[in-house]
Structure 1
């Protein structure tokens, strides 16, 4: 299993792929619509049966689905989202750095904090987009070429109502057998800490990066295909370095 422990792997993962898998793996790429590893393809999942009625004013949701570049890139294009910030969730403040999290021993997951306007999009609707196009929720401690607990699939909830809606939707998808395998996504609690500035807006700033082209660009295309009414053409960017 290929494992990435630093940003350098993202820059050179095609070389590692060639070295470990040879031309046979490259031939397999064509069969997955540009995705570098065999994963469940995107789809439009059913709306959540249990919804969340929210008060007016901006709210936040925190989702972890593998490398935060792609998850951030997807939600930066979702209407009603005012910010999508890459970061770390599930561990402590003193280990909330890319170098530390890359060890897989901090308890953190790469995550994205989504700030949204509930008058335009509800929490349960964000969940539907997340499970439909932002990741393969059947994978355990991995997404695409990335493996380790820091790449686990998780929903970090801020209160009991978010937890109730998230758990209900996972159960709904499992009962409906929406995927060929059970949903591996866990509902967790934990503080969120912003990632380093160089990780912010990475997909928007580097659309031709080999990692983005193979692993994350297909997610954005799935958003545009399955949720056209929810898609903004231009991303909402973080821009400046996020506050600590």
Structure 2
């Protein structure tokens, strides 16, 4: 009798909630949201639907759990040369989310959906808490915490999501270079009276690096936050003239 129960026990242990969520992420990466069904997951794990429902719930629960697992891993990214400043930690978190969204084509849509439709779920508070703690550590007054954290969160998710959407269209670095070159040439040919700025930056479009540009945007926001709310004992910088 004992010899017959051990394999069953091992199978039950192997199909933990963590393994089910991991398999859900694998399915999402391979086939997108349409490919994640309870049936597909049971086939992948060689189990019955009851195990899935017991550990995670229905398909919506699987999507939520997969999103939360990927986001939690991204937010655990540490800055190089720890211990870092709050700015360093925000940059590391931002890049962690940027890379996660780039690496999981379904993630941007799920994050946008959860942020707008269910901000009381697991994912939105997790992201806001991670960014918000660093905003607080910057010395931002409590009355401005939500605004400063929101500016960072919306920039991170928006810019990372747009980058991921572009990457899905452009299958390779060669495709990206060709696309940017075509866009740059088209901007250079615009009417100089109607589009002087766009023509002036056309060459920068051709040469820019997505991750560097993303981090530059983070630095612009952080500079604004720390200028408006300098550390205790420092006076705010005078306005530009």
TM-score interval (norm. to shorter): under 0.3
**Which of the pair is proportionally richer in strand?**
1
The higher relative CO (CA closer than 8 Å, separation ≥ 6) is in 1
Indicate the structure with greater helix content. Answer: 2
Normalising by structure 2, we get a TM-score of 0.25
